[in-house]
Amino acid sequence: MSKQICDKCGLPVDLCICKEIAKEQQVVNVTTAKRRFGKIATLITGIDEKEVDLKELSKELKSKCACGGTVKDGCVELQGNHREEVKKVLGVMGYTLEEGE
């Protein structure tokens, strides 16, 4: 059985920290926006979709926030206002969150 090697760092995949580094390098911005019919959406932007699987991330966020959502143009959009919750979850996952607002 051959071990899978990460083609970025050359380490076995189970030792690879490329994903962790990629997360730390992302400066994520969490905002809310008004959508049709006065509905609020939570937008997660600033994540490089080449480094992070946004579909996987949105799945995780959707289950954590128990809401629906989509991925579009490198932006994860969740239905409803989950700003604080999303920030908490992303922080725990190791993302750097944009300060301010």
44 C-beta neighbours (distance < 10 Å), count? 27
Between 10 and 100, CB nearer to Zn ion: 10
Minimum distance, C-beta of residue 31 to Zn ion, in the bound complex (Å):
31
* Cβ proximity to Zn ion, 4 vs 63, nearer residue: 4
By the rule CB under 5 A, 67 interacts with Zn ion = no
Binding letters toward Zn ion, positions 2-21, x by CB under 5 A: ----x-xx------x-x---
Residue 93 within binding range of Zn ion, rule CB under 5 A:
no
The C-alpha atoms of residue 86 and residue 49 are separated, in whole angstroms, by: 18
Q: Give the CA dihedral 38, 32, 56, 12, nearest 10 degrees.
A: 180
Q: Which is nearer to Zn ion, 6 or 75 (CB)?
A: 6
- Taking the least distance from each CB to Zn ion, the nearer of 22 and 71 is 22
Asked if 86 and 61 count as a contact pair (C-beta separation under 8 A), the reply is yes
Q: Is 37 exposed, middle or buried (0-12, 13-18, 19+ CB in 10 A)?
A: exposed
Token digits for 47? 């994540």
Binding site for Zn ion (CB under 5 A): 6, 8-9, 16, 18
